[in-house]
């Protein structure tokens, strides 16, 4: 499956206020959902550190949460008027520019 096919398929399960309109309420929903799902990944990893859950048990659980993160990323891009392909391409272009300037390490957006 490619990014844009996946993103389009999320329309069927996008049941939230003003879904697909780019309205600030829809953007808020996508951002907060993304943060929540990323937090679930962190929480599962934290419990692994505490309890020593075997990775072969943990990774399928994490993969499920990563899928939820992907859904919210797809919806956030949709609400902002971008395709996932566009955002992925923009990210690779940015990283390639940093690589050619030897500034992949470090911090800050303006490297």
pLDDT tens sequence for the chain (111 residues): 899 999 999 999 999 999 999 999 999 999 999 999 999 999 999 999 999 999 999 999 999 999 999 999 999 999 999 999 999 999 999 999 999 998 988 777 776
- CA atoms in the 13 A half-sphere facing the CB of 96: 6
Give pLDDT, residue 104. Answer: 87
Name, in order, each residue with C-beta under 8 angstroms of 65's C-beta and a sequence gap of 6 or more: 37, 40, 41, 44
Give pLDDT, residue 107. Answer: 79
Which domains does the chain possess? 3-82 (1.10.287)
Count of CB atoms situated within 10 Å of the CB of 29: 20
How far apart are alpha carbons 34 and 83 in whole angstroms?
Answer: 17
pTM for the complete prediction? 0.91
Give pLDDT, residue 106. Answer: 78
- Closest C-alpha among 21, 31, 38 to residue 78: 21
């Amino acid at each position: 499956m490619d990014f844009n096919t996946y993103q389009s398929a999320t329309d069927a399960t996008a049941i939230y206020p003003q879904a697909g309109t780019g309205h600030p309420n829809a953007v808020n929903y996508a951002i907060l959902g993304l943060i929540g799902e990323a937090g679930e990944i962190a929480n599962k990893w934290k419990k692994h550190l505490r309890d020593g859950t075997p990775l072969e048990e943990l990774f399928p659980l994490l993969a499920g949460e990563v899928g939820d993160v992907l859904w919210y990323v797809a919806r956030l891009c949709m609400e902002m008027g971008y395709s996932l392909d566009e955002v992925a391409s923009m990210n690779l272009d940015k990283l390639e520019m940093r690589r050619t300037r030897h500034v992949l390490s470090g911090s800050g957006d303006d490297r």
